[in-house]
Amino acid sequence: MSETPDLLPGTLSLLVLKAVSLGRVHGYGVLLRIGEISGGDFDIQQGALYPALHRLEHRGLIFSEWGTSHNNRRAKYYYLTDEGRKRLGQDVLNWERLTRTMSRVLSAEPQEG
């Protein structure tokens, strides 16, 4: 059984923004969506998710409204704001640059001489 990777600081916000960008989703659905799109590698805990949703909403990156879930329960649904979409784009570019650089560094071989 493989271990799930630890999230680096700041990556939960990026994962939440991405999950919300894929369409209307309630809080628990964010957890399920992240688990699904990560192939089960990321198992976000509710105790971490809800404070992250609150922070992102407070920063104006997402907004919420109450609605009815598929099982006929009241649920808070989250959407990306224009500022959230902009931030997601910037964060994705930063993440891609970081991973390219880390890959280059980690693939370095000892030099002769």
Strands 74-80 and 25-26, bridge-based pairing:
antiparallel
Question: Which architecture characterizes domain 11-106 according to CATH?
Answer: Orthogonal Bundle (1.10)
Q: For residue 5, is pLDDT > 70?
A: no
Give the pLDDT score at 69.
86
The residue ranges of every structural domain in the chain are: 11-106
Give the pLDDT score at 43.
85
Over the chain, what is the mean pLDDT? 92
Higher pLDDT, 85 or 111: 85
Per-residue pLDDT of 48-84, as tens digits, reads 999 999 999 999 999 999 999 888 999 999 999 999 9
Residue by residue, DSSP assigns 66-94 as: EEE-TTS-EEEEEEE-HHHHHHHHHHHHH
Q: For residue 85, is pLDDT > 90?
A: yes
